[in-house]
């Protein structure tokens, strides 16, 4: 495996645009799970990454987190706003009308954390709607909360992003397609609001992910990937990652690509895709 990610990219011209090196980040919530979280920073650096992302970093004090990043010369590019009971099967925070105050507290917490670790983007998970009769009400609440997040993060020069998740892994998830995300972005028209596009989730929902990125790269604030099915590293499933990465290189996307997968073996042995 090469230490410099840019070594693996050939510059070329496609449709009049020069391709650019891809920027990869390691998701420390999924990768290097054989180590304690505070030891995963060193592991990521040793495997050639210059950036990391974490789903929910709040179990580590932000000053300690900032120190770990500085020690390994890593950038934390993304983390999530706290999502309440979402991972326990609940509805989460961001779309539930009765939880608006809790969501505002979660935004305040995320901003306080961001002052130390200085991410490029913060992700707002829409959550579930367990009562389909309430779906339109939940969507309106979510859009209101997205505007609050985008407004709050704009002065800090942090992108507000939100993510669609497949309904096989998370039944009743409120936002589950690129089309839905695109509609919300176009409706709200906030300059600091972007999609977080996860290749695994959208491929699972049957989308042509490469085509979506090629068409809408300017509205995407962060990309995450895993192979499908199984959510393992590239090469373990059916996604053509050579094509996929080529599309990103030659699109208008300039952000990070987050490796958010479950390694089928030790994490450090799962990066064969990176050297290609």
Active site residues: 163, 260
User: Any idea what DSSP says for residue 208?
Assistant: -
Q: How far is CA 107 from the centre of its chain?
A: 17
Strands 257-259 and 75-80: unpaired
Angle at 73 between CA 68 and CA 150, to 5 degrees: 80
Integer angstrom CA distances of residue 159 from 36, 120, 122, 244: 28, 6, 6, 24
In whole angstroms, give the CA distance from residue 20 to residue 95. 37
Per-residue tokens: 120: 């490029």
Q: Are 117 and 57 in contact (CB under 8 A)?
A: yes
In whole angstroms, give the CA distance from residue 249 to residue 253. 8
């Amino acid at each position: 495996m090469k230490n410099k990610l840019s070594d693996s990219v050939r510059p070329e011209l496609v449709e009049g645009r020069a391709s650019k090196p891809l920027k990869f980040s390691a998701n420390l919530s999924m990768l290097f799970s054989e180590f304690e979280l505070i030891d995963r920073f060193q592991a990521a650096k040793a495997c050639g990454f210059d950036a990391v992302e974490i789903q929910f970093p709040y179990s580590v004090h932000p000053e300690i987190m900032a120190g770990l990043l500085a020690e390994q010369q890593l950038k934390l590019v993304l983390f999530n706003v706290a999502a309440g009971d979402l991972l326990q099967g609940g509805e989460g925070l961001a779309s539930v009308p009765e939880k608006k105050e809790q969501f505002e507290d979660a935004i305040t917490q995320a901003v306080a954390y961001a002052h130390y670790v200085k991410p490029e983007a913060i992700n707002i998970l829409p959550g579930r709607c367990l009562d389909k009769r309430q779906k339109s009400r939940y969507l309106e609440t979510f859009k209101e909360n997205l505007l609050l997040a985008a407004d709050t993060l704009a002065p800090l020069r942090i992108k507000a992003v939100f993510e669609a998740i497949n309904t096989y892994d998370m039944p009743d998830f409120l936002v589950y397609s690129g089309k839905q995300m695109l509609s919300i972005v176009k409706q709200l028209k906030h300059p600091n609001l972007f999609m977080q596009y996860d290749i695994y989730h959208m491929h699972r929902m049957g989308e042509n992910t490469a085509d979506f990125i090629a068409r809408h790269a300017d509205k995407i604030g962060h990309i995450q990937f895993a192979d499908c099915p199984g959510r393992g590293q590239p090469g373990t499933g059916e996604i053509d990652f050579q094509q996929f990465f080529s599309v990103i290189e030659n699109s208008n996307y300039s952000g990070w690509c987050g490796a958010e997968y479950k390694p089928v073996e030790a994490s450090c042995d799962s990066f064969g895709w990176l050297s290609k």
